[in-house]
């Protein structure tokens, strides 16, 4: 497979593997699938009679319709960089999948995903989900990410050397001087309706409207740099601007991540890449946070830049007491995925937990989320950086599939909660 030029590969191919005895079942799946999926290339039925004509594909999503398809799966896999297997509990689909997996893993390969489907609606959902994961990774590989002002001095680990970005192919880091941001801030104009919108949606406001105006001017300045440099996301050395502008970038980062434009603070590039991956896969905002408290099976994540995923109070930035940040309410009981990439973009650590009740503390950053997370002590015992990303929902399988496409290894906290 590695001898096939990248230019000759189809991106995502969807095929239905069937024995000759099961063609009627497979044809019905194909008929229903053809009516519903849009985007990925639908190859159609693949049997022993036509497997030799299977095209070269970057990712093959294989629907295992029946048993007796092991050689077909083998043929598709041999002509694909990666495969995902979708099986059902009828027609000996699962036994064929299990037998093929033993062969595939013996070759030192691992499928992106192996999961069962219940019905055609679930099958369509899985195909679209895998296509979205693939598209997100492709977008990351070609992304242009800004580094505004550099990297905070205290991030002695959370830096990414150019040699480690090679697996991400064409990903670009554009370094932008703080002075350019200051100039854009001085040119930014904010109108009253924009200020009133932020104030009007808050449960409570503990800052002045003038402070909100300054924070929104910084948001507008960052927006101007995104447009100027055609950025897909950015990180900012945020503490450097506080003494100069007497405001913070907390509100701006919250707004960008709410809009699914990945934005990390402190110049943390590994976390920015992690956030981009999560937001583009799930189409949900990501919360970048410090690990502020830890036990063997729980953590408190805290930062001043939470996206607006619930009600919020407008407060000052924690360390400086200046600017505008958000104290965002997170719903107790929700499942969450906690994850991050290491500084070589070679290992993805992740786990699924759920939000517990937490008594807000004035001694932590403003948005605080307590998560029941089995194996949490690994964060301290085997540290790979102080910031972690949080997404509402269970997206473990999606992020694992993306990491495999990137060639990263997987490091689990523990089993799902």
Residue 101 has pLDDT above 90, yes or no: yes
In this structure, are residues 194 and 214 in contact, taking their beta carbons and an 8 Å threshold?
no
CATH number at residue 52: 3.40.50
Q: How confident is the model at residue 80 (pLDDT cuts 50, 70, 90)?
A: very high
Q: How far apart (Å, rounded) are the C-alpha atoms in residues 21 and 68? A: 9
Q: How far apart (Å, rounded) are the C-alpha atoms in residues 293 and 320? A: 21
Residues 6+ apart with CB under 8 A from 222: 148, 181, 184, 234, 236, 249, 252, 256, 263
Handedness of CA 146, 152, 153, 159 (dihedral sign): negative
Using one digit for the tens of pLDDT, what is the confidence trace for 336-384? 999 999 999 999 999 999 999 999 999 899 999 999 999 999 999 999 9
Q: Which of 141, 173, 202 is the last residue of a domain?
A: 141
Same structural domain for residues 200 and 235? Answer: yes
Residue 161 has pLDDT above 80, yes or no: no
Q: How far apart (Å, rounded) are the C-alpha atoms in residues 45 and 266? A: 51
Q: Are strands 367-372 and 298-303 parallel, antiparallel or unpaired?
A: antiparallel
Residue 9 has pLDDT above 70, yes or no: no
* Mean of pLDDT values over 207-217: 96
Share of the chain above pLDDT 70, in %: 95
Question: What does the pLDDT read at residue 2?
Answer: 39
Question: What does the pLDDT read at residue 351?
Answer: 96
CB atoms within 10 A of CB 226: 18
Question: What does the pLDDT read at residue 216?
Answer: 97
3-state DSSP helix/strand/coil percent for the chain, to nearest 5?
Answer: 40, 25, 35
Same structural domain for residues 238 and 338? Answer: yes
Q: Which of 105, 121, 141 is the last residue of a domain?
A: 141
* Mean of pLDDT values over 205-216: 96
Same structural domain for residues 155 and 120? Answer: no
Q: Measured between alpha carbons, how far is residue 167 from residues 131, 134, 161, 216, 261 in Å? A: 20, 15, 12, 36, 22
Question: What does the pLDDT read at residue 296?
Answer: 87
Handedness of CA 362, 365, 368, 371 (dihedral sign): negative
Same structural domain for residues 86 and 215? Answer: no
Instruction: Give DSSP secondary structure letters for 350-382.
Output: EEEEEEE-----TTS-SEEEEEE-TTTTHHHHT
What is the token pair recorded at 206?
């503990």
Same structural domain for residues 204 and 314? Answer: yes
Q: Which of 123, 141, 159 is the last residue of a domain?
A: 141
Question: What does the pLDDT read at residue 169?
Answer: 63
Question: What does the pLDDT read at residue 417?
Answer: 47
In this structure, are residues 48 and 20 in contact, taking their beta carbons and an 8 Å threshold?
yes
CATH number at residue 387: 3.20.14
What is the token pair recorded at 318?
């924690």
CB atoms within 10 A of CB 102: 9
Is 241 contained in some domain?
yes
Same structural domain for residues 233 and 366? Answer: yes
> Angle 269-282/396-406 helices, nearest 10 degrees?
120
* Mean of pLDDT values over 398-408: 94
Is 14 contained in some domain?
yes
* Mean of pLDDT values over 107-135: 95
Handedness of CA 246, 182, 272, 162 (dihedral sign): negative
Higher per-residue pLDDT: 1 or 87: 87
Q: How far apart (Å, rounded) are the C-alpha atoms in residues 216 and 131? A: 36
Using DSSP's 3-state secondary structure scheme, residue 192 falls into helix
Range of the domain at 73: 6-141
Q: How confident is the model at residue 415 (pLDDT cuts 50, 70, 90)?
A: low
Picking from 135-139, 163-167, 327-331, which range would have the lowest pLDDT averaged per residue?
A: 163-167
Q: How confident is the model at residue 37 (pLDDT cuts 50, 70, 90)?
A: confident
Is 290 contained in some domain?
yes
Q: How confident is the model at residue 8 (pLDDT cuts 50, 70, 90)?
A: very low
Same structural domain for residues 225 and 283? Answer: yes
Q: How confident is the model at residue 39 (pLDDT cuts 50, 70, 90)?
A: confident
Q: Measured between alpha carbons, how far is residue 41 from residues 38, 62, 81, 132 in Å? A: 8, 12, 16, 14
Q: Where are the alpha helices (DSSP H) in 86-119?
A: 93-106
Judge if pTM exceeds 0.85.
Answer: yes
Question: What does the pLDDT read at residue 313?
Answer: 96
Question: What does the pLDDT read at residue 273?
Answer: 95
**What DSSP character marks residue 8?**
G
Same structural domain for residues 150 and 127? Answer: no
Q: How confident is the model at residue 1 (pLDDT cuts 50, 70, 90)?
A: very low
Picking from 147-161, 211-225, 280-294, which range would have the lowest pLDDT averaged per residue?
A: 147-161
Residue 82 has pLDDT above 90, yes or no: yes
- The chain-wide mean pLDDT, for the chain, equals 93
Query: Per the structure, how many domains does the chain have?
Result: 2
Using one digit for the tens of pLDDT, what is the confidence trace for 188-198? 999 999 999 99
Q: Measured between alpha carbons, how far is residue 50 from residues 59, 85, 149, 415 in Å? A: 19, 19, 56, 41
* Mean of pLDDT values over 227-240: 95
Using one digit for the tens of pLDDT, what is the confidence trace for 307-329? 999 999 999 999 888 999 999 99
Is 1 contained in some domain?
no
What is the token pair recorded at 148?
């505004």
């Amino acid at each position: 497979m590695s001898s096939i030029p990248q230019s000759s590969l189809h991106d995502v191919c969807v095929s239905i593997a069937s024995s000759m005895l099961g063609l009627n079942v497979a044809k019905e799946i194909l008929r229903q699938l053809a009516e519903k999926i849009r985007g990925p290339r639908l190859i159609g039925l693949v049997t022993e009679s036509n497997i030799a004509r299977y095209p070269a594909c970057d990712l093959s999503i294989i629907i295992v319709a029946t048993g007796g398809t092991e050689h077909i799966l083998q043929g598709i896999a041999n002509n694909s960089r990666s495969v995902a297997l979708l099986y059902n509990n009828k027609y000996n689909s699962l036994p064929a999948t299990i037998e093929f997996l033993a062969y595939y893993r013996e070759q030192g390969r691992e499928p992106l995903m192996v999961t069962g489907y219940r019905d055609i609606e679930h099958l369509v959902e899985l195909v679209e989900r895998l296509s979205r994961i693939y598209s997100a990774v492709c977008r990351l590989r070609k992304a242009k990410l800004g580094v505004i002002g550099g990297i905070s001095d205290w991030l002695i680990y959370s830096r990414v050397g150019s040699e480690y970005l090679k697996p991400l192919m064409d990903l670009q880091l554009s370094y932008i001087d703080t002075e350019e941001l200051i100039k854009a801030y001085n040119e930014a104009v904010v109108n009253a309706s924009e200020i009133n919108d932020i104030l009007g949606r808050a449960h409570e406001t503990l800052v002045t409207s003038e402070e909100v105006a300054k924070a929104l001017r910084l948001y507008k300045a960052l927006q101007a740099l995104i447009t100027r440099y055609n950025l897909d996301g950015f990180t900012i050395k945020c503490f450097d601007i506080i003494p100069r502008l007497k405001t913070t970038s907390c509100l701006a980062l919250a707004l960008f991540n709410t809009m699914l434009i990945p934005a990390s603070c402190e110049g943390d590039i590994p976390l920015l890449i992690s956030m981009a991956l999560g937001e583009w896969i799930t189409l949900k905002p990501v919360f970048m946070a410090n690990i502020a408290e830890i036990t063997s099976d729980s953590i408190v994540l805290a930062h001043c830049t939470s996206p607006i995923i619930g009600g919020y109070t407008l407060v000052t930035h924690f360390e400086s007491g200046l600017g505008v940040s958000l104290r965002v309410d997170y719903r107790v009981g929700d499942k969450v995925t906690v994850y991050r990439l290491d500084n070589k973009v070679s290992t993805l650590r992740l786990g699924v937990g759920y939000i517990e009740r937490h008594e807000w503390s004035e001694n932590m950053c403003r948005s605080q989320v307590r998560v029941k997370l089995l194996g949490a002590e690994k964060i301290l015992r085997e540290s790979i950086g102080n910031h972690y990303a949080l997404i509402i929902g269970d997206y473990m399988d999606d992020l694992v599939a993306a990491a495999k496409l990137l060639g990263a290894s997987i490091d689990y906290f523990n089993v799902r909660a």
